[in-house]
Structure 1
Amino acid sequence: MEYNKLVDHTLLKPEALSKDIDKLIEEAKTYNFKSICIAPSYIKYAKEKLAGTDILICTVIGFPLGYNATSVKVYETKIAISHGADEIDMVINIGRFKDKEYEYVLNEIKAIKNECGDKILKVIVETALLTNEEIEKITEIVLQSGADFIKTSTGFSYRGASFEDIKIMKKIAKDNLLIKASGGIKNGDDAIEMVKLGANRLGMSKSVNIMEDLKNK
């Protein structure tokens, strides 16, 4: 298993500096990660630094709280792609979802997917704030929307992905929707288990340590 090609090497801290982005990029090159996941304002900067590599640029939309108006999220997506983003990780409107406004959530995801065109869309649902039944329901909605991935977490709530989250998502998604486990993956064993349970992508900030740990597995 080439775990490195499952990794979105992530730096989304609000205090991140350009030198931190440089370090992230160099690590991504060293380990040949699938992508780097960065704030939208650094897309152009990273695009230049990654020229000549196959490392993708992933960015975030409506992040981290998800309660922007849909039109704002769509515009954010448009700008991000024009700057060179290859993959878009959007946050759903969690309150509207928990209020059972399922049509609103579905239409928002569809609008952003439409703006993405042939770019990959991952839908962040913040499982820490959802019940198991709600995780099942949002997986159904994301599946219906035409998005490419459902993603567990922003990494900014009180917990990230759990094994149970992935089990529930996989039960609904089967092989019809990809799954990104994000946040809280602390070591190689966590990464291995997430993939066994059905994760197709791993969003991690400790990617280098985890890759080194995996060498010993």
Structure 2
Amino acid sequence: MSNLSERELAATIDHAILKPELVRADVDAELDIAAEWGVFSVCVRPSDIAYAVKRLDGTGVAVGTVIGFPHGTTSTAAKTAEVAQALADGASEVDMVVNIGFLRSGFDDAVVDDIRAVVNAAEGRIAKVILETSYLDDDQIARGSRLTEAGGAAFVKTSTGFGGGGASVEHVRLMRASVGPAVQVKASGGVRNLTTALAMIDAGATRLGTSAAATILGEARAIERGDGPTGATDAASY
């Protein structure tokens, strides 16, 4: 299993702050966690982007958001409009949900066109494509990964965390094997402890989406200090 330092592991984490019921005090607490632990980025609800950018100014933590979330069924025009607003509000990365029904239907050209439009709207910022693997069989996951690459996205991502299932090691491996080296894999949904995080990285993920950054990095810190693991948590989706 990978032997990453706390700092190296933090650099893989997009701390998710996406639950619809969160009030501003909850958002503040999660943004503070992200800053305290030095994660790579936060992934916030679109309406929280500008606020998160301001609150995290000077911390080195990037701000990303979601597009077409969580179902992926909004029109391409709506998705690109969301991207334009996200960039105006200061987002540096976008995680779009693929049109799951189109992918399952075999409408490959429409899927690629949808992805490419979002990638173009992102104007050079990192764009990730969420497949929602719990709704797909292995052939659809592999095909969705290839379509993500064809659409020019930088990452293919497992899950929203709201679709009834999260990331699995097997699906991360399949996604990694289905795309070329220029496309990275993000494991998201159910990554809630250090053991799971490292297993996803070993399977080929280079970014982790999780709301459990403090738990994961706290376990890594305890090991670095010689205290041993602090104990795994339940692998429920975020």
Q: Above 0.5 in TM-score?
A: yes
Q: Any residues of structure 2 matched to 1:44-55 within 5 Å, and which?
A: 44-55=50-61
Residue 100 of structure 2: which of 84, 94, 105 is its match? 94
What are the ranges of 5 or more consecutive residues in structure 1 without an aligned counterpart? none
1:31 corresponds to 2:37: yes
CA RMSD of aligned residues (A): 0.9
Tell me the percent identity: 37
1:103 corresponds to 2:109: yes
Question: What residue is the counterpart of 1:125 in the other structure?
Answer: 131
- In the TM superposition, residue 34 of structure 1 has moved relative to its aligned partner by 0.3
After TM superposition, the score normalised by the length of structure 2 is: 0.89
Q: Deviations over 1:66-98 (max 9, x none)?
A: 100110001011001100001000001100111
Secondary structure, aligned partner of 2:16:
strand
Q: Deviations over 1:118-152 (max 9, x none)?
A: 21100000000000111110111111111010010
Structure 2 counterpart of 1:184, one-letter code? G
1:12 corresponds to 2:18: yes
- The number of residue pairs the alignment matches comes to 217
- In the TM superposition, residue 174 of structure 1 has moved relative to its aligned partner by 4.1
Q: Any residues of structure 2 matched to 1:1-217 within 5 Å, and which?
A: 1=4, 2-215=8-221, 216=223
Q: Deviations over 1:164-195 (max 9, x none)?
A: 11110111124221010000112111101110
- In the TM superposition, residue 115 of structure 1 has moved relative to its aligned partner by 0.5
Which runs of structure 1 show a deviation greater than 3 angstroms over 4 or more consecutive aligned residues? none
Secondary structure, aligned partner of 2:181:
coil
Q: Does the aligned pair in 1 maintain the 2:34–2:213 contact within 8 Å?
A: no
After TM superposition, the score normalised by the length of structure 1 is: 0.98
What are the ranges of 5 or more consecutive residues in structure 2 without an aligned counterpart? 224-228, 230-238
